[in-house]
Amino acid sequence: MSGGVIDRELIYLDHAATTPMRAEAVTAMQPFLSDVYANPSGSHRFAREARRAIDEARDAVAGVLGCKPGEVVFNGGGTEGDNTAVLGAVRRLESKGLAARAVCSAAEHHAVLHCVGHVRGAVVGTDATGCIDAEQLGLELTRFAAADVVPVVSVMAVNNEVGNVTPIDDVSRVVRRSAPRAVLHTDAVQAACWLDLAPITKVVDLLTLSSHKFGGPKGCGVMFQRDGVDIEPLIFGGGQERDRRSGTHNVAGIVATAAALVATAAERTREVERIGALRVELVAGLTAIGGVSPTISADNSVAGIVHVCIEGIENEALLYLLDEAGLCASAASACASGAMEPSHVLAAMGVPRELARGALRLSLGHTTTRSDIHAAVDIIGTAVARLRAHARA
Partner 1 sequence: MKVLVAMSGGVDSSVAAALMQREGHHVVGVTMRLWGGESDTGCCSVSDVDDARRVAQQLGIDHLVFNFTEDFQEKVVDPYVQSHATGVTPNPCIECNRSLKFSRLTERADALGFDAVVTGHHARLVRNAQGEMRVHRGGDAAKDQSYVVHMLTGRELERTLFPVGHMTKTEVRCVAAELGLRTATKPDSQDVCFISTTGGRETFLGHRIPFHAGRVVDTDGHEVGKVDAVELVTIGQRRGIGLYKTEAKRFVVDVDADSHTVIVGTEADLQRTGLALHDMVWAGGAPEAGRYRVQCSAHGKSLPCSVEVVDADRVQVTLDEPHRRIAPGQSAVLFDDTDSYVVAGGLVSAASAWPVSVGATA
Chain positions contacting partner 1, by CB under 8 A: 1-3, 314, 316-317, 320-321, 324, 334-342, 386-387, 390-391
CB closer to partner 1 out of 147 and 389: 389
99 three-state secondary structure: strand
Catalytic residue flag (residue 131): no
Catalytic residue among 104, 131, 220, 335: 335
Q: Minimum distance from CB of 370 to partner 1 (Å)? A: 29
Q: For the chain, where are the alpha helices, taking DSSP H only? A: 23-33, 45-65, 78-95, 110-118, 134-146, 168-178, 197-203, 251-287, 315-324, 344-349, 353-356, 370-392
CB closer to partner 1 out of 147 and 393: 393
Q: What is the C-alpha to C-alpha distance for residues 48 and 23, in angstroms, rounded to an integer?
A: 26
Beta-carbon contacts of 172 under 8 Å, excluding residues fewer than 6 positions away, are 184, 203, 204
Strand partners, 71: none
CB closer to partner 1 out of 54 and 332: 332
Q: Minimum distance from CB of 211 to partner 1 (Å)? A: 27
Nearest to 192 by CA among 352, 25, 40, 48: 25
Beta-carbon contacts of 231 under 8 Å, excluding residues fewer than 6 positions away, are 84, 85, 88, 89, 91, 92, 183, 206, 225, 244
Q: Minimum distance from CB of 340 to partner 1 (Å)? A: 5
> Cβ distance 327 to 215 under 8 Å?
no
119 three-state secondary structure: coil
> Cβ distance 81 to 224 under 8 Å?
no
Q: Minimum distance from CB of 44 to partner 1 (Å)? A: 44
Q: Minimum distance from CB of 133 to partner 1 (Å)? A: 28
Q: What is the C-alpha to C-alpha distance for residues 223 and 243, in angstroms, rounded to an integer?
A: 14
CA 35 to each of CA 31, 107, 252, 254: distance values in angstroms, whole numbers, following the listed order: 5, 44, 11, 16
CB closer to partner 1 out of 96 and 390: 390
Q: Minimum distance from CB of 10 to partner 1 (Å)? A: 14
Q: Minimum distance from CB of 9 to partner 1 (Å)? A: 17
Q: What is the C-alpha to C-alpha distance for residues 250 and 211, in angstroms, rounded to an integer?
A: 12
CB closer to partner 1 out of 300 and 382: 382
CB closer to partner 1 out of 17 and 139: 17
Q: What is the C-alpha to C-alpha distance for residues 198 and 182, in angstroms, rounded to an integer?
A: 21
Nearest to 87 by CA among 61, 120, 45: 120
CB closer to partner 1 out of 49 and 323: 323
Residues with catalytic function:
335
